[in-house]
């Protein structure tokens, strides 16, 4: 029997090299989505230009704030409904809720996001770019469904709104998850977190 076992082991060893020793999954399946009670992760975003970087963890440390994400600058729903819902909330309305910082992020470069922000006029909303999806991936909020990839060319950020208090998530709605619609990620939901 040894003369049968040794060749069999050798064949299996050769065949195993043809098969991967690990499986490659899309990033959206690997990262667990951030949830209420979690701390916001450290991740760099760009403010106006690639050289001006902001760590979202530091930005929300010790403050009440709102972070909302959109699939892309200049996209129809983001431009006509999602962002305006935040821009139309006055600084005083945010202040009444104790909110000190409101940030919009998208997987776009800083130049595109800045140009898009300018189309909304004067606003208390900060627009911070996530060009390489660093923050999006760190929060587990990557949107990479095939129709989206075909339309926009690369993975994007899911549509979401997050309330933060001292860097901890106190409220979170993600469009398409847990029965949430796009409207559940608009400013009215954010105001309801506080």
**Would you say residue 94 lies in a domain?**
yes
pLDDT at position 1:
52
Residue 178: per-residue pLDDT: 84
Q: How many CB atoms lie within 10 A of CB 68?
A: 26
Asked whether residue 10 is assigned to any structural domain, the reply reads: no
pLDDT for 157: 86
| Residue ranges in the chain modelled with pLDDT below 50 | 2, 4-30
Residues found in the chain: 194
Q: What's the pLDDT score for residue 153?
A: 63
93-129 residue pLDDT tens:
999 999 999 999 999 999 999 999 999 999 999 999 9
Task: Determine the Cα–Cα distance for residues 135 and 160; give it in Å rounded to an integer.
Answer: 13
Inside any domain, residue 13: no
Rounded to whole angstroms, the maximal C-alpha distance in the chain is: 84
pLDDT given for residue 144 in this prediction: 74
- Give a yes or no: residue 67 inside a domain: yes
The catalytic position among 78, 104, 132, 157 is: 78
Per the CB < 8 A criterion, the answer to whether 74 and 83 are in contact is no
pLDDT attached to residue 132: 93
pLDDT of residue 155: 76
Is residue 79 one of the residues assigned to a domain?
Answer: yes
Whether the model clears a pTM of 0.85, i.e. scores above it, the answer is no
Residues 173 and 161: beta-carbon distance below 8 Å: yes
**Would you say 67 and 164 are in contact if contact means Cβ atoms under 8 Å apart?**
yes
Q: What pLDDT score does 148 carry?
A: 59
Look up the CATH number of the domain holding residue 177.
3.40.30.10
Residue 4 domain-assigned (yes or no): no
Q: What is the pLDDT of residue 104?
A: 98
Tally of structural domains, the chain: 1
Residue 108 included in any domain? yes
Q: What are phi and psi of 178, to 5 degrees?
A: 55, 35
Residue 31: what pLDDT?
56
Helix-, strand-, coil-residue percentages of the chain, each rounded to 5: 40, 20, 40
In a domain, 16, yes or no: no
pLDDT score recorded for residue 108: 93
Domain that holds residue 133: 25-192
pLDDT at 149: 59
Whether 157 is catalytic is no
């Amino acid at each position: 029997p040894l003369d049968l076992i040794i060749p069999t082991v050798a064949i299996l060893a050769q065949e195993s090299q043809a098969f991967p020793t690990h499986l490659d999954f899309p990033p959206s399946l690997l990262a667990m989505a951030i949830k209420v009670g979690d701390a916001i992760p450290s991740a760099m975003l760009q403010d106006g230009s690639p050289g001006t970087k902001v760590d979202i963890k530091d930005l929300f440390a010790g403050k009440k704030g709102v972070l909302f994400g959109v699939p892309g600058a200049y996209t129809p729903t983001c431009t006509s409904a999602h962002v305006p819902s935040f821009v139309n909330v006055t600084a005083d309305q945010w202040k009444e809720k104790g909110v000190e910082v409101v940030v919009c992020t998208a997987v776009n470069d800083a130049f595109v996001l800045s140009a898009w922000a300018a189309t909304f006029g004067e606003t208390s909303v900060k627009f911070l770019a996530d060009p390489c999806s660093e923050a999006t991936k760190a929060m587990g909020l990557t949107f990479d469904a095939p129709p989206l990839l075909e339309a926009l060319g690369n993975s994007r950020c899911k549509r979401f709104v997050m309330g933060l208090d001292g860097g901890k998530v106190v409220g979170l709605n993600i469009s398409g998850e847990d029965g949430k619609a796009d409207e559940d990620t608009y400013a009215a939901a954010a105001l309801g977190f506080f």
